[in-house]
Amino acid sequence: MRVRFAGTLIVIGMVSLTACSSPPRPKTRSGNADTPAGKLGQAAYKASVKIGEAGKTIGQKLNTAAHNAHAGWNEAARKDQSEDQKKK
């Protein structure tokens, strides 16, 4: 009796696992770029590439500005030290 009950539970568990899995994807996707969705996808890709390039340029300019600010900070600190030593 217990073996039959355990077997029934195992079978129910396996059936429920297969029932909960996602259905197979249909292979209706086409790689046709002439459709409106394809054209929209191409436009979105081109826009993302341009945004990436602009972001890279902005990042480089910010890096340069930060480097210049750091160099200016260090130069001001050196001037302050030299003035302090002259006062002594």
pLDDT in tens, 42-53: 999 999 999 999
User: Across the chain, how many H-helices and E-strands are there?
Assistant: 2, 0
Q: What is the pTM of this model?
A: 0.48
Is 40:47 a contact under the CB 8 Å cutoff? no
How many angstroms separate the CA atoms of 13 and 43, rounded?
Answer: 47
Is 38:32 a contact under the CB 8 Å cutoff? yes
Higher pLDDT: 38 or 21? It is 38
pLDDT above 90 coverage of the chain, percent: 42
